């Protein structure tokens, strides 16, 4: 049954791609034709498969035209988000497609930040554990640019607010305690600078809240504050 479903999806997206080839075979043109079809479940599944395969080809460097380096991934990400908007049942699959490309940390910094933003947007749709897992991997990777690590934390804290459920508070604190992330907000950015202190402030407030409201996490929160050279005012 699953194979038949994928076959139907491939036929649906194949028909769309055939129309696209009348205008040109570039991903941007195909994406424009696929987005309106995402209201159909089978076509949406096919569109998601198209985006996944394209993003993976791009990450592996299998491009036929260097001019596609920026346009193609953006078009493919746009299709994934169109599927997410139209098909709630495919939200986790959308997260998996975006996360698979994000984890590879390939492409320009702008694309990586765009992927982070899209993954984080799925939190509001109820996709919590897979999103936090993907962000945690990026925040802990030694290959992640410091500005990307900071973007992960600041964008995440911009869209979540207390009170936090205990499991989410634990996963959020674990993410913020990643050594790479602490380094991005610490010594590498100039611990004594006012700019660093301002950028760290949302993290400081969040960690203080977690320590105050979640007793099992108080020790970990205090350790983070100490490591970042911030006074613990929870007592």
Please report, for residues 69, 89, 155, the alpha-carbon distance to residue 98 in angstroms, rounded to integers and kept in the order given.
17, 16, 16
Of the residues 61, 87, 119, which one is the last residue of a structural domain?
119
Together in a domain, 104 and 147: no
**96: containing domain:** 1-119
pLDDT of the residue at 4: 54
Domain count, the chain: 2
Of the residues 119, 142, 176, which one is the last residue of a structural domain?
119
Together in a domain, 32 and 93: yes
Predicted TM-score (pTM) of the model is: 0.84
Of the residues 58, 93, 119, which one is the last residue of a structural domain?
119
Average per-residue pLDDT for the chain: 84
Structure tokens at 155: 């964008």
Together in a domain, 95 and 135: no
Digit-coded pLDDT (tens) for 45-102:
889 999 998 898 876 654 444 444 668 899 999 999 999 999 999 999 999 999 999 9
Together in a domain, 170 and 94: no
Together in a domain, 150 and 235: yes
Together in a domain, 107 and 132: no
């Amino acid at each position: 049954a699953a194979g038949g479903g994928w076959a139907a999806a491939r036929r649906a997206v194949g028909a769309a791609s055939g129309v696209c080839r009348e205008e040109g075979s570039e991903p941007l043109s195909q994406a424009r034709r696929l987005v309106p079809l995402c209201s159909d479940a089978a076509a949406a599944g096919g569109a998601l498969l198209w985006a996944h395969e394209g993003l993976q080809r791009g990450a592996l460097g299998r491009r036929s035209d260097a001019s596609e380096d920026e346009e193609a991934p953006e078009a493919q990400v746009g299709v994934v988000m169109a599927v997410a908007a139209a098909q709630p049942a495919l939200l986790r699959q959308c997260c998996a497609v975006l996360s698979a490309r994000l984890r590879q940390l390939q492409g320009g910094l702008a694309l990586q930040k765009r992927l982070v933003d899209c993954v984080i947007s799925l939190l509001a749709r109820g996709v919590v554990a897979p999103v936090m897992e993907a962000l945690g991997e990026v925040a802990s990777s030694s290959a992640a640019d410091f500005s990307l690590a900071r973007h992960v934390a600041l964008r995440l804290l911009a869209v979540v607010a207390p009170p936090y459920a205990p499991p989410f508070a634990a996963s959020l604190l674990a993410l913020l305690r990643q050594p790479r992330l602490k380094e991005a907000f610490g010594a590498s950015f100039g611990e004594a600078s006012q700019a660093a202190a301002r950028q760290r402030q949302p993290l400081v407030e969040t960690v203080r809240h977690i320590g105050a409201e979640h007793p099992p996490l108080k020790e970990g929160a205090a350790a983070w504050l100490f490591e970042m050279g911030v006074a613990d005012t929870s007592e």
